[in-house]
């Protein structure tokens, strides 16, 4: 008897773009039959920084209902999707801190042999999306994880043009998540769930 894939979506979002993509991914994964945990990385920035950007403060308040991620959310999962905005072409410190705190689980071998993939946003079209995903994937290699990028496995991927994961260009928040990003996210999460199911159920 086949068992449903357990998928954790762990993300950091400052002004809401990554949170919106994460919620969309969760809905798509559930539609594909997965059991989903949606979790956010803890906020590390001081209130003075958050309050200086109304969109940041609004997102903090809007996303309070989403539980904070714990190491168990990764250990529990058959597949994990990590989401982050770009920070100078790299993973946001809030998500990186969560990853860095998984050393104990890594030492026990509890992070290996799972499916992993990533999604990202940036302000500009060439704002470091690919380098951010590649930096994220360095961690996955150390986990002994099974990296499942979407590649060009679906025609829609030639539209968004990112084989490394789902990416969205948000501008200063005025470029909303639309069909191109959602199509890319759908391809990515269904591929991750499908590969995880094959590994889990033989």
Q: How far apart are CA 3 and CA 119, in angstroms?
A: 26
Q: What six digits make up the tokens of 13?
A: 């979002």
Q: How far apart are CA 138 and CA 142, in angstroms?
A: 7
> Residue 173's pLDDT is what?
86
Residue-wise pLDDT tens digits, 176-198: 999 999 999 999 999 999 999 99
Q: Can you give the pTM of this predicted structure? A: 0.97
Least reliable range by pLDDT among 12-16, 127-131, 162-166, 170-174: 170-174
């Amino acid at each position: 008897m086949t068992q449903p894939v357990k998928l954790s979506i762990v993300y950091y979002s400052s002004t809401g773009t990554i949170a919106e993509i994460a919620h969309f991914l969760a809905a798509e994964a559930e539609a594909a039959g997965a059991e989903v945990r949606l979790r956010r990385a803890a906020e590390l920035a001081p209130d003075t920084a958050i309050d200086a950007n109304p969109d940041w403060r609004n997102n903090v308040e809007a996303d309070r209902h989403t539980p904070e991620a714990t190491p168990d959310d990764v250990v529990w999962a058959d597949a994990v999707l990590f989401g982050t905005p770009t920070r100078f072409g790299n993973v946001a410190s809030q998500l990186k801190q969560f990853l860095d705190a998984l050393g104990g689980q890594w030492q026990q071998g509890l992070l290996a042999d799972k499916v992993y993939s990533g999604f990202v946003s940036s302000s500009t079209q060439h704002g470091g999306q690919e380098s951010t995903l590649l930096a994220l994937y360095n961690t996955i290699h150390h986990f002994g994880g099974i990296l499942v990028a979407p590649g060009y496995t679906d025609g829609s991927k030639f539209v968004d043009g990112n084989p490394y994961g789902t990416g969205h260009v948000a501008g200063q928040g005025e470029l909303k998540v639309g069909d191109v990003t959602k199509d890319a996210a759908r391809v990515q999460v269904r591929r991750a769930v499908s590969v995880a199911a094959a590994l889990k159920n033989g």
